[in-house]
Amino acid sequence: MRCLFRRAGVAALCAAGGVLLVAARSLAQAEPGEDRLAGARSLFAEALRDEGAMRFAEALPKFQRVRDVRDTASVEYRIGTCLEGVGQPAQAYAAYREATVLGRDDAQSTDVVAAAIERLRALEKHVARLVLVLSPRAPGDTEVRIDASAVPARAMLEPIPLEPGTHVVTASAKDATPFRSEVVLPEGAQASLSIALEPRPAVEAGAPGSSASSVRTTGWIAVAGGGALAGAAAVLLLARHLDIASLGRACPGGQCPPGANAAELQSTRDRALIEGPAALVSGAVGLVAASAGAWLVLSARDTPSASPPATARLVPVVSWGGGGLALAGVFQ
């Protein structure tokens, strides 16, 4: 990852002067007093010199202090470059994405937004992303965590960038059964996980109706999971169609012109070969899950139950190399 960053770092640092000018103009429009504003400008220039000298660990906290005074696309972009420099690509991805949001309506930030988008495209092949879907019935005091870090409600509105590997997702609230699930995210993959955090039922364990309610809940979860897998299948089929169309445009009639990028064409062909079978598997499993869930919902009977059953979810995964499925267990 460090090598990838350095290859792109030369171009980013060449634009440092322009970024400094845009940042200065943005800071000039800030609401803080002149003293804080002047200090922020000076600190930004100092941090930019540190970044240019590859002193990323020293530049990062300075840019973050500037952000506390006034958050702009330029400041977030520089934070992203420093995070890449200290080996934190997932956090860098989040900073670049924030830069595109802050600068999309600012004509002076056009170059910064373009540079941030370029870095996002480079990082998305190496950073995993997780979409968290919180149950609409979850209590208002719900706290969601990934590993040991709390996830703000705002962060759940879009995919959360993470390092590739195994992550533990937990959710808790005062009057709800705790949620815990593990998900394995390959490099460049994006997965979706539903957090079924429901308020504790008023019926005590073992009372009539508790077992049927648990079965129905499991059934609805299976139906929702089946729908998610069907959606993933549709996404994979669309991706396969686009890859095939791209190959057709690049090599009309199966004949590639001289100078064509053979490696890129081979990569596109490999993806298309994987996406078709992955879509079929995802669609088939989704159909089975939805059918089983519907049967559970319709066949549930009010019988005593001492405790809710363990459940599991199939999480659709879409990555640069194709698609697949990950099994995430939830035990209550």
Q: What's the pLDDT score for residue 25?
A: 47
DSSP string, 190-234: EEEEEE---BPPSSPTTSTTHHHHHHHHHHHHHHHHHHHHHHHHH
pLDDT at 311: 43
Evaluate whether 178 touches 138 at the Cβ level (below 8 Å): no
- Reported pTM: 0.54
Task: Centre a 10 Å sphere on the Cβ of residue 286 and count the other Cβ atoms it contains.
Answer: 24
Q: At what angle do helices 2-14 and 73-85 cross, to 10 degrees?
A: 140
Return d(Cα 317, Cα 246) in angstroms, integer. Answer: 23
What parts of the chain have a pLDDT lower than 50? 1-30, 204-209, 303-314, 319-332
Q: What backbone phi and psi angles, to 5 degrees, belong to 281?
A: -65, -45
Structure tokens at 47: 């941090």
Residue 77: exposed, middle, or buried by beta-carbon count in 10 A (0-12, 13-18, 19+)?
buried
Give the per-residue pLDDT at 34: 81
Nearest Cα neighbor of 211 from 219, 94, 151, 274 is 219
Predicted local confidence at residue 164, as pLDDT? 94
Q: Are strands 143-146 and 149-150 parallel, antiparallel or unpaired?
A: antiparallel
44 phi and psi angles, rounded to 5 deg: -60, -45
Closest C-alpha to 115, from 96, 101, 98, 102: 96
* Cα three-residue angle 154-155-159, rounded to 5 degrees: 135
pLDDT of residue 143: 93
Tell me the residue type at 171.
Answer: A
In sequence order, the 6+-apart residues with CB closer than 8 A to the CB of 245 are: none
Rounded Cα–Cα distance for residues 247 and 233 (Å): 21
Question: Nearest-CA neighbor of 50 among 77, 16, 26, 76?
Answer: 16
Extract the tokens encoding 252.
Answer: 């009309």
Residue 133 CA: distances (Å) to CA of 25, 40, 69, 228, 306: 39, 38, 33, 11, 29
CB 113 within 8 A of CB 141: no
Q: What is the pLDDT at residue 232?
A: 80
Helix (H, G, I), strand (E, B) or coil at 75: helix
Residue 7 has a pLDDT of 39
Cα–Cα distances (Å) from 238 to 146, 234, 261, 276, in that order, read: 31, 6, 23, 10
Name which of 98, 89, 107 is nearest 67 in CA terms.
Answer: 98
Contacts of 174 (CB under 8 A, 6+ apart): 139, 141
- Spatial contact of 97 and 83, defined as CB atoms under 8 Å apart: no
